[in-house]
Amino acid sequence: MSAAQAHALGVEPLPSATCYALADCNNFYASCETVFQPKLAGQPVIVLSNNDGCVIARSQAAKALGVTMGQPAHELSALITRQDIVICSANFALYGDMSARVMEVLAHSAPRLDVYSIDEAFLDLTVVPPSRRARYAARLRATVKQWTGIPVSIGIASTKTLAKAANDRAKKLPAGILSTSSWRYARGLRNSRENCPRRCSHEHDLV
Amino acid sequence: MRERRETSGFPSPAEDHIEETLDLQQLLIKRPSATFYLEMTGNAMRGLGIYDHDVLVVDRSQTPVLNSIVVIVLDGELLVRRWCPQPGPGRRLLLVAAHSAYPVLDVTPEMSCEVWGVVTAAVRRGL
């Protein structure tokens, strides 16, 4: 079977020219707080905007309790008391510093880095041989976690958009990494509205 | 090297010898992106010259070796201790203070214990 035939059958992805990874920090602001208050690990934590107006970040446990992004804090007072949710007032000086550290670690080991927001960056992995990309990402993820304490998820794909979508799925995997062939993934995207990349930007811990 | 300043009078004889100002950060920090300052609370490490309120320089990129001074997360609390993994099959880990009033902590596998970073320097203010 030729490569093209295998591709047509969905068995083999065509070798792609470009490869991007999106490294995105998990629950970034809440993770920053947890680095310096380790007892918050696993707890429902929310970070509130300036003057404690509304929710701008949620730990995994807080998401599970149904706290939504941008929700006004006063709507949550009953839930906060009932579930013992930890509230952090936004500390942007800290988040900015931690972001710079994460980006520096990424820049250190990536051939080309494109900082996309305070907690995410695209890495150009085109020069990394395909067979090594997953291991490369795993090592990168471990280094960022050790050096900065921030957990990141990494989505790898042939375009930035697909890398973003892959990242959204990577977040739900224990390994935190998803490498995907563009063709197969594009089909997956068409088949399910849930996987639409626009959706992941809504899910983002940023306003 | 600093840029030469034009003077109307006699030029500084030190002009060609100006170097960068000594910088504590440069002296104490090898990897800025992985290094954090923490303030010591308590006297558990007094015997090793780390006192209450000292500023600890903590490098998270380093892996502790036997007898490293480490910041540990033990059941959610940050602790400073000496890192003493024991040889042998049990893979026991002892966390040793440098003060007789603090017992040696024997870390069992059921305890949640994680290295936060390795202390590479301590700075004392207000001497």
Nearest residue of B to residue A98, measured between CA atoms: B33
Q: Which residue of A33, A99, A113, A146 to mutate against B (max B Cβ within 10 Å)?
A: A146
Structure ipTM over 0.95, yes or no: no
- What counts of helices (H) and strands (E) characterise chain A? 9, 8
Binary contact (A147, B78; C-beta < 8 A): no
Task: Please answer whether residues B112 and B74 qualify as being in contact, where contact means their C-beta atoms are separated by less than 8 angstroms.
Answer: yes
Model pLDDT for residues B36-78, shown as the tens digit of each residue: 999 999 999 999 999 999 999 999 999 999 999 999 999 999 9
Q: Which residue of B33, B36, B114 to mutate against A (max A Cβ within 10 Å)?
A: B33
pLDDT more than 70, % of chain B: 96
Sorted by sequence, the CB contacts under 8 Å of residue B72 that are 6+ apart come out as B78, B79, B80, B81, B83, B95, B113, B114, B115, B116
Return phi, psi of residue A54, to 5°.
-140, 170
**pLDDT interval class at A141 (50, 70, 90):** very high
- Which residues lie across from B55 on neighbouring strands? B39, B123
* Higher pLDDT pick, A13 / B108: B108
Residue A204 reports pLDDT greater than 50: no
Task: Please answer whether residues A195 and A172 qualify as being in contact, where contact means their C-beta atoms are separated by less than 8 angstroms.
Answer: no
Distance in angstroms (rounded) separating the CA atoms of residues B67 and B65: 6
Binary contact (A38, B61; C-beta < 8 A): no
Establish, for the pair of chains A and B, how many residue pairs have beta carbons separated by less than 8 Å.
30
Model pLDDT for residues A147-162, shown as the tens digit of each residue: 999 999 999 999 999 9
> In the numeric block, which tokens belong to residue B74?
């033990």
Q: What's the pLDDT at B53?
A: 95
Range with the poorest average pLDDT among A112-116, A180-184, B18-22: A180-184
Angle between helices A92-109 and A28-36 (to 10 degrees): 100
Write out the catalytic residue numbers of A.
120
Radius of gyration, alpha carbons of chain B = 21
pLDDT more than 90, % of chain A: 70
pTM (2 d.p.): 0.82
Residue B102 reports pLDDT greater than 90: yes
CA A95 from chain centre, in angstroms, equals 16
Model pLDDT for residues A57-112, shown as the tens digit of each residue: 999 999 999 999 999 999 999 999 999 999 999 999 999 999 999 999 999 888 79
> In the numeric block, which tokens belong to residue B67?
């007898």
Q: Does the CA dihedral B61-B64-B69-B75 come out positive or negative?
A: positive
Angstrom CA distances, B21 to B18, B24, B125, stand at: 9, 10, 20
**pLDDT interval class at A198 (50, 70, 90):** very low
